[in-house]
A and B are shown apart, each in its own frame.
Chain A
Amino acid sequence: MEFFYHIGKYLVFLRKVFKRPQKRNIFIQNIFFEIEKLGINSVVIVFIISIFMGAVITLQTAYNIEVSFVPLYLVGLGTRDSMFLEFSSTIVALILAGKVGANIASEIGTMKIREQIEALDMMGVNSESYLVLPKIIASVFTFPLLTLFSMFVGIFGGYLAVYFTNAIPLDDFVYGIHYYFIPFYITYSLIKMAIFAFIIATVPAYQAYFIRGGALEVGKANTKAVVYSSILILFFNVIITQILLS
């Protein structure tokens, strides 16, 4: 029952979020501000996890190929497809749910308990739209770019791993990267990420918007935000995969 109550409340919330912005220039300014805060500030963490994961996936595949009749270029192909299909969208989204989701929940939660949201409403500002819409647009626009970036960096990480360890010949790895490339995998990943971005921007905002009380409540909203958005990401991952790849 409570599940349906929240779905309904979330949809009502979204309807307010999608109200037309009251001042165009302030709205655009806020979008750029959020792009910097949510997107650009996540570049480093995406770089770090992608380069290491690319390296590890490569090495694990390389060391697990022991039988000689398996072609070595499969290492490169495996790294590429793991990154393109799953890692650079779903895993990066889960990391961003932790980082960006928590950031959104604590920002909005703090504004709520310190009456700043009521202050906006009192002035006549549509606070839901003012605060959340720029975050949605910034996330849906920049997170897929982070996915592309992660794909590139992950493969580069695999390349470096092969280069330094000589686990397989470098040429085989590079051949594998190019082998039987399906461009639609990239489209698929970007579509997934755009949907995950929407979840990461709205679910934490929703969790934080209705709290009452003090700092403890902000902390709770924070935790819920990360847990629920992660579960939703995993759930939608299955749904979208079924729709797009079946």
Chain B
Amino acid sequence: MIEVRNISKSFGEEQILKNISLTFERGKTNLIIGQSGSGKTVLLKSIVGIHEIDEGEIIFGGQVYSSMDRKEKQKIRQEIGMVFQGGALFDSYTVYENVIFPLRMFSGMSKKEMNKRVDFCLDRVNLQNVNDFYPSEISGGMQKRVAIARAIVLNPKYLFFDEPNSGLDPKTAIVIDNLIKEITVDFNTVTVINTHDMNSVAETGDNIAFIYNGQAWWTGNNKDILESENKELNEFVFATKLMRSIKK
């Protein structure tokens, strides 16, 4: 479980996150939704410790992560897998080199064990015969899958995804959504996903937090969300014609 308690974050004068409290459960897909620019990425990066928070606490599995020193944090970080919005694969490394990288840096495994693990992870995201390609030589959907393979290679307890569907066609987006759902159950991770894609919300939202005006404006699941009376949430959820037709 991850608990976020009353966190705030400003950049200069501008307060992006205002007193946000949320709980993310293990084995579930926890969604953070909200408009572009609402602070989803800042929230995600604050939780994992890329941004330092101004106030509040972040608790990973009962340990107060936000007040740990560098060394202690490092330990938790090795249990976190993160998939950045663009994938953040290393351009100068091949697919294979990208996925094996965390193992080479941190695992202490033998070459053979590492290769086995890489094969397992690439297989898990349904990628075959792409080992020697560079990120620029494969499709956006494949890049996302490589990024997921890299994120799970050290067997993480926590998984974070920043807009895993952005830039993908609807069909590929569903493939990625399903993959994330399966991995969450398989690996029994606490999975936190940023998205503004209502399709993923309907498909994968075990727990949903709607961020509005820097606050956790509404929380619930993918059934509640269609029935909620919350005005701002409704404006977000039913922004498209398609969603409005579902409501009727």
Contacts and interface: CB of A to CB of B under 8 A. Distances in A.
A114 B86 contact: yes
A118 B91 CA distance: 14
A119 interface: yes
B105 A118 contact: no
Contacts of A118: 45, 50, 84, 88
B50 A124 contact: no
Interface stretch (B52-60, B75-83, B192-200, B233-241): B75-83
A145 B82 CA distance: 42
A121 B77 CA distance: 9
A23 B104 CA distance: 8
Contacts of B50: 118, 121-122
Given A23-B104, A123-B106, A115 B91 contact: no
Nearest to A26: B104
Contact of A123 (B45, B85, B86, B102): B102
B78 A114 contact: no
Contacts of B101: 123
Interface residues of A, number: 15
B107 to A, nearest CB: 11
Given A22-B105, A23-B104, A124 B86 contact: no
Contact of B80 (A110, A116, A122, A125): A122
B48 interface: yes
Contacts of A119: 82, 84, 88, 90
- Interface centre among B48, B74, B82, B88, by most chain A C-beta atoms within 10 angstroms, is B88
Interface in A102-142: 110-111, 114-116, 118-119, 121-125
A116 B77 CA distance: 16
A62 to B, nearest CB: 47
B45 to A, nearest CB: 7
Interface string A65-76: 000000000000
Contacts of A23: 104-105
* Dominant secondary structure at the A interface: helix
Contacts of A111: 90-91
A135 to B, nearest CB: 13
A186 B48 CA distance: 52
Interface in A162-219: none
Given A23-B104, A119-B82, A124 B77 contact: yes
Given A110-B91, A115-B88, A116-B90, A122 B82 contact: yes
Interface string B63-97: 00000000000100110101011101111000000
A123 B88 contact: no
Contact of A124 (B78, B84, B85): B78
Nearest to B154: A123
A1 B104 CA distance: 43
Interface of A: 22-23, 26, 110-111, 114-116, 118-119, 121-125
Those 7 A-B pairs whose CB atoms lie nearest each other, nearest first: A119-B88, A115-B84, A115-B88, A124-B77, A116-B88, A122-B82, A124-B74
24 contacts: A22-B105, A23-B105, A26-B105, A110-B91, A111-B91, A114-B88, A114-B91, A115-B85, A116-B88, A118-B45, A118-B50, A118-B84, A118-B88, A119-B84, A119-B88, A122-B50, A122-B77, A123-B77, A123-B105, A123-B106, A124-B78, A124-B105, A124-B106, A125-B105
